[in-house]
């Protein structure tokens, strides 16, 4: 009888110990779009920004609220940094990919993106002041397909 109680008590203690030691699994990387702040153990489920998805961002450079048009000799360009919410600077080499606007349009299509966090830096020419304008903004894509409009503030 004592042996049965001892065995039962041991199993019960092991069960309680193993339940108490289990950690919540999930994505523990804050750079991931599906980051789980309550997760204690990474389960490999993190999703990251990048090319190869079905999302298009139509990025509209806005100088003091006015659109910047693409011109044949000076097309608007969007530089994109994956998995970032802070600006990596103004050098094109700091970005993962670039997109060039089409002549006459007031936006640049950033095509083939996955859900994730991005920093978008744009360069254009404001012909009303005959000056180059630049600026950037962080943006998180939370959809898996479709097109999203995004105004990007730029300044001289």
Per-residue pLDDT reduced to its tens digit, 128-147 = 999 999 999 999 999 999 99
Q: How confident is the model at residue 4 (pLDDT cuts 50, 70, 90)?
A: low
Write the CB contacts of 64 (distance below 8 Å, at least 6 apart in sequence). Answer: 155
Q: How confident is the model at residue 21 (pLDDT cuts 50, 70, 90)?
A: low
Per-residue pLDDT at 33 exceeds 80 = yes
Q: What mean pLDDT is predicted for residues 47-53?
A: 95
DSSP 51: E
So what's the pLDDT on residue 10? 56
What value does the CA radius of gyration of the chain take, rounded to a whole number of Å?
Answer: 25
So what's the pLDDT on residue 138? 98
Better-scored residue on pLDDT, 23 or 64 = 64
Q: Are 119 and 31 in contact (CB under 8 A)?
A: no
Q: How confident is the model at residue 71 (pLDDT cuts 50, 70, 90)?
A: confident
What is the rounded CA–CA span in Å between residue 81 and residue 75? 20
Better-scored residue on pLDDT, 27 or 5 = 27
pLDDT digits (tens, 9 = 90+) for 83-94: 999 999 999 999
Q: List the alpha helices (DSSP H) in the chain.
A: 2-21
Q: What is the mean pLDDT of the chain?
A: 89
Distance set, CA 154 to CA 39, 64, 75, 140 (Å)? 38, 8, 15, 19
What are the residue ranges spanned by the domains of the chain? 2-42, 51-154
What is the rounded CA–CA span in Å between residue 128 and residue 149? 24
Q: Are 152 and 59 in contact (CB under 8 A)?
A: yes
The beta-strand segments (E) located in 4-156 are: 25-26, 41-42, 51-63, 66-67, 77-82, 97-100, 108-113, 116-126, 131-141, 145-154
Per-residue pLDDT at 152 exceeds 90 = yes
Query: In the CATH hierarchy, which top-level class contains the domain 51-154?
Result: mainly beta
Phi, psi of 99 (to 5 degrees): -130, 140
């Amino acid at each position: 009888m004592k042996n049965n109680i001892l065995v039962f008590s041991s199993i019960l203690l092991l069960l309680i110990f193993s339940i108490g030691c289990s950690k919540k699994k999930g994505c523990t990387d804050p750079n991931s779009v599906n980051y789980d702040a309550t997760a204690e153990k990474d389960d490999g489920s993190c999703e990251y920004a990048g090319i190869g998805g079905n999302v298009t961002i139509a990025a509209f450079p806005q100088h003091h609220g006015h659109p910047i048009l693409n011109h044949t000799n000076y097309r608007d360009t969007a530089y994109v940094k994956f998995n970032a919410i802070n600006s990596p600077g103004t050098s094109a080499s700091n970005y993962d990919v670039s997109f060039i606007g089409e002549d006459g349009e007031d936006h640049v299509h950033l095509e083939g993106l996955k859900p994730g966090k991005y920093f978008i830096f744009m360069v254009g020419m404001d012909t009303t002041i005959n000056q180059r304008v630049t600026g950037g903004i962080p943006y998180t894509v939370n959809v898996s397909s479709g097109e999203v409009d995004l105004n990007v503030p730029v300044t001289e």
